[in-house]
Amino acid sequence: MDTPRPVIVYPPSPTGGRRVRVDGEILGLAYSLLDVAEFLRRAGLEGMDAGDVAESDLIEWRGGGPDVWVPPPQ
């Protein structure tokens, strides 16, 4: 059984960036792993850098992993 993860990074939006949700609250639109790390720091998950964000089991990546930041061509 999968355990829900407290952090969700949504698929890239058509205009760029990915929404980041922590514990049910949308924190903003991230354009890089550094942005996600900053949102997590502000949410109290200190000590995570871009490398930690890319590898963290706390994060559910939807619509592509940590290397996907632009929407697929339509």
Give the model's confidence band at 48: pLDDT under 50 very low, under 70 low, under 90 confident, else very high: confident
**What pLDDT sits at residue 2?**
55
Q: Which of 58, 43, 72, 74 is nearest to 9 (CA)?
A: 58
For residue 25, the Cα-to-chain-centroid distance in whole angstroms is 12
Span 15-40, pLDDT tens digits: 889 999 998 899 999 999 999 999 99
Residue 16 is predicted with a pLDDT of 85
Q: What is the pTM of this model?
A: 0.88
66 contact partners, CB below 8 Å, separation of at least 6 = 9, 33, 36, 53, 54, 59
Residue 45: pLDDT over 90: no
Per domain, the residue ranges of the chain are 7-61
